[in-house]
Amino acid sequence: MATTRSAHTVWEGDLLNGGGIVTFDSSGTGDRPVSWPSRAEQAHGKTSPEELIAAAHSSCFAMALSHGLEGAGTPPTGLVVSADVTFQPGEGVTGIHLTVEGTVSGIDNDAFVAAAQDAKANCPVSKALTGTTITLSAKLV
């Protein structure tokens, strides 16, 4: 069964001085302020499209890796995943770097890295971001 998730943004003002509020409609988990300075300079308590992409990518990758490891008979005890999305004004998103540290019994580091590479290639958010360079650092802890 397909699902659709929704969010909306209300923006006021011009790009450089204006701002908006992103509302997470599907989950009802609240609103987050967004602005150009939070995107191209410092966050100052506001989010950006790139931070939202990082959140989506890190959580999708964690789910895909957990599922892959479980399918191989080595479910993880824990995974810590971060995603760093680089934005260059005038160019857009220029790259994403995923970092994962995993606690997994019955697997060596090479097998963990291979599973992480597979998750990177096959998680739905990675697939949606085709055309963006995605790199990965993975290790067992």
91-115: burial string, b at 16+ Cβ within 10 Å, e else = eebeebebbbebebeebeeeebbeb
3-class DSSP state for residue 112?
Answer: helix
Q: Is the Cβ–Cβ distance between 131 and 93 less than 8 Å?
A: no
Successive 10-residue mean pLDDT values, the chain, 141 residues: 95 96 95 95 94 97 98 98 96 97 97 98 97 97 94
Structural domains in the chain, CATH included, are: 7-40 (no CATH), 49-140 (3.30.300.20)
Residue-wise pLDDT tens digits, 83-114? 999 999 999 999 999 999 999 999 999 999 99
Q: Is the Cβ–Cβ distance between 38 and 62 less than 8 Å?
A: no
